[in-house]
Structure 1
């Protein structure tokens, strides 16, 4: 059983008042939402107007200042730029210009590049043997190449013109050079008939082969008398006989790598040779 007395039933009047109160509340909420929407729209309009105003003012300011720099100001700015460019590379050293043409290294042959004898050596093998004929007499010659001679010629041939200046007879020296210079680095051969006889000895006068440009040539020789006519152009090297551990040509190649930076090779010879004191006797 259900006791209906415990359930209160609203009468008709109270129900009508409740409906009327809810209607007023709904109207007030709608009015409040409308006011908020109007305020938001107004704020957005003000914000948009403010941004547009700032853009217009900024554009007018740029137009008013465009081209306002005076010619003197532009000239000053341009001059300042040039000064910066001028001093931008002040730390780079000034290098003297070298001759475009290759300078020439004259090399002695016997005891500088090879050692030759009419008897075969006992302590080591020969590199090649020749038979030369001089005044109808055939003579055997046993030739030993100085260690590193092929590499030496190839290295200096990259930066210099290489020539051989020997006091040997052409019948002998030409055959040696044919076998020695397999890569054809040597571009000139001068023999005994190109030497100058001084008191019964042979000197090599570089002025006859270098003309007036003595600063572009050096002569490597184991005999100081060979370059006695131009001692500033001479580079002395220890004579080679039978030392198969000899490294003088490699030291000389390093020396010529340094000489290549000099305008006058005589300056290089005087300033750099002390670094290679084992090359100089």
Structure 2
């Protein structure tokens, strides 16, 4: 089951999700009003999903969003508009194994601990840039420099 839990407002999030999921495979959505205000951010408390936390995984580009359940999260590079970004699809081996084996999320994350940073996009740009150390100095956590989000009209 895929659940969307976003810090976006409901009207905007519904519009975006409806664009990427026109067949409505995603049945459960949580929005900013379901997150916990924590200073300037909205923390996503996975217990609010009402699912078994041993089988619940969050993939987020803001690590603080899953600080209440850190053993359930994968921190991933943000995506804006790079057609060469493969971070989410690179997590497929982990996600496939999670589905097929029914192992607990924290066990899978521990098993793939060394591969996850690469899969999550933190060095996918090193091959493009040549010298990763230079790229890392100019980017946050080794992610590509952030470009402003694409303006979406709705």
Considering the TM-score relative to the shorter chain, is it more than 0.5?
yes
- Counterpart CA distance in 2 for 1:196 and 1:208 is 10
Unaligned runs of 5+ in 2: 123-154
**Contact persistence 2:94–2:108 (CA under 8 A):** no
1:242 maps to which of 81, 84, 87: 81
Residue 75 of structure 2 is aligned to residue 256 of structure 1: no
1:162 maps to which residue? 2
Q: Comparing both structures, which one devotes a greater share of its residues to helix?
A: 1
Residue 69 of structure 2 is aligned to residue 230 of structure 1: yes
Shift of 1:243: 1.7
Deviations 1:13-47 (A, max 9, x none): xxxxxxxxxxxxxxxxxxxxxxxxxxxxxxxxxxx
- Counterpart CA distance in 1 for 2:107 and 2:35 is 25
- Counterpart CA distance in 2 for 1:272 and 1:183 is 32
1:172-187 paired onto structure 2 within 5 Å: 172-187=12-27
TM-score by length of 2: 0.71
1:202 maps to which of 22, 37, 42: 42
Residue 28 of structure 2 is aligned to residue 193 of structure 1: no
Shift of 1:258: 1.7
**Contact persistence 1:262–1:268 (CA under 8 A):** no
TM-score by length of 1: 0.40
Deviations 1:90-125 (A, max 9, x none): xxxxxxxxxxxxxxxxxxxxxxxxxxxxxxxxxxxx
1:77-116 paired onto structure 2 within 5 Å: none
Deviations 1:248-271 (A, max 9, x none): 122122220122214311111121
Deviations 1:231-255 (A, max 9, x none): 0011111111232111112212222
- Counterpart CA distance in 1 for 2:94 and 2:7 is 25
**Contact persistence 1:196–1:203 (CA under 8 A):** yes
CA RMSD between the two structures:
1.6
Unaligned runs of 5+ in 1: 1-160
Shift of 1:180: 1.0
Larger Rg: 1
